[in-house]
Homo-oligomer: A and B are copies of this chain.
Amino acid sequence: MSVLIVGSVALDYLETPFGKMDQALGGSATFCSIAASYLTENIRMVGIVGEDFPQAHVDYFASRNIDTLGLERVEGGKTFSWGGRYHEDMNTRDTLYTVLGVFEHFHPVIPDEWKKSEFVLLGNIHPSLQLEVLDQVEEPKLVVCDTMNLWIDISLKELKQVLKRVNVLVLNDEEARMLTGERNIFNAGKKMLRMGPSVIVIKKGEHGAVLLSKDTTFIAPAFPLGGFKDPTGAGDTFAGGFIGWLERTGDVSVANMRKAVVYGSVLASFCVEEFSIEGIRELSEEQIAERFGIFRTLSTF
């Protein structure tokens, strides 16, 4: 089995109260794929980069068994870049700039031999591009979709078309409220379950994550961290860990998705501890197992 991951690949500029970093490897496909790579070896990445994208990053992907056959490289093109500055409280941020570069004319092309991928993660990109991916894949076992406030704001119609065709929607609490007009996340969850997905996962940052289906409410705490340096990519990392566990086990039951939420949370906890991908660049099985074990004790009574 394998996971097909489609999303952005970026060279970002990040500024938080703890420092700054230029030319930082980022993008939804990047974080999703690296996170998933700690749980499965069968990762197929689809995205686009420009001529400026360092070969070292491509080599790093390969070292983590991330297949980049679907990563298009445009000669003379410039890689997508986002510049952001986080405020003192780390809960809000300003976009300093967005340079689309090669992303402006991107249309994901799924290699023929990848069209039968069993697990598909539609990383956070424009819903129209997510639809193009859905039109190319053949009877996937599970489709997980991530999104963001921008698309709810400017492409709601396309996003709703996507939602009709996915199994799991992953988004944060603010986005859940935007999408449904419901302040209460359980009521928001009920509304989203009527939009198509049979499972909704709402990420609440430092307050953990909630998984909702018709019959299930699962609430996971966030890993207790004394602080963090850069929240960029935490949501993508969560989604990658989530689908990685499901692919590894081949079990898409809601019961198994509880564990998937915890793996997503474990990987996101490492992600935020350092800038860019540094927190998840090189993790050992032991590090992941240790935090997973702590999660077991956190809510036990």
- Enumerate chain A interface residues (CB-CB to B < 8 A): 89, 183-184, 186-187, 204, 207-208, 210, 217-221, 224-227, 258-259, 261-262, 295-296, 298-301
Residues of B within 8 A of A227 (CB): 184, 187
Residue pair A220, B301 in contact (C-beta under 8 Å): yes
Q: A186 vs B227: C-alpha distance in the bound complex, in angstroms?
A: 9
A186 touches B224 (CB 8 A): yes
Asked if B219 and A298 make an inter-chain contact with CB atoms under 8 angstroms apart, the answer reads yes
> Is the Cβ of B226 less than 8 Å from the Cβ of A217?
no
How far apart are A111's CB and chain B's nearest CB, in angstroms? 35
Q: Nearest chain-B residue to A211 (Cβ)?
A: B301
Q: Closest Cβ of chain B: how far from A109's Cβ, in Å? A: 37
A-B contact pairs, 25 of them (CB 8 A): A89-B183, A184-B225, A186-B225, A186-B226, A187-B226, A187-B227, A204-B207, A207-B207, A207-B208, A210-B224, A217-B224, A217-B298, A218-B299, A218-B301, A219-B221, A219-B224, A219-B299, A220-B299, A220-B301, A221-B221, A221-B299, A258-B301, A262-B301, A296-B301, A299-B299
Chain B hits for A299, CB < 8 A: 218-221, 299
The residue on B at minimum CB distance from A227 is B184
Known A-B contacts: A218-B299, A220-B301, A259-B301. Give 4 more (CB < 8 A). Answer: A184-B227, A187-B227, A219-B221, A295-B301
A300 to chain B, nearest CB (A): 7
Could you say which residues of chain B place their CB within 8 Å of the CB of A262?
Answer: 301
CB distance from A226 to the nearest CB of B (A): 5
The docked-state distance in angstroms from the alpha carbon of A89 to that of B187 is 15
Set of chain B residues within 8 Å of A219, measured between Cβ atoms: 208, 221, 224, 298-299
Contact between chains at A261 and B186 (CB < 8 Å)? no
Ranked nearest first, the 3 interchain pairs of A and B with the lowest CB-CB distance are: A299-B299, A258-B301, A219-B221
Inside 8 A of A301's CB, which chain B residues have their CB?
Answer: 218, 220, 258-259, 261-262, 295-296
Chain B residues lying within 8 Å of A259, measured Cβ to Cβ, are 301
Residues of B within 8 A of A226 (CB): 184, 186-187
Docked pose: A23 CA to B296 CA in angstroms: 46
Give the docked Cα–Cα distance between A298 and B219 (Å): 6
Docked CA distance A186–B206 (Å): 11
- Chain B residues with Cβ below 8 Å from A207 are 204, 207-208
Complex CA–CA separation, A227 to B89 (angstroms): 28
State in angstroms the CA–CA spacing of A159 and B160 once bound together: 53
**Nearest B residue (CB) for A190:** B226
Chain B residues with Cβ below 8 Å from A210 are 224
The minimal Cβ–Cβ distance linking A134 to chain B, given in whole angstroms, is 29
Residues of B within 8 A of A187 (CB): 226-227
Q: Which residues of B contact A183 (CB under 8 A)?
A: 89
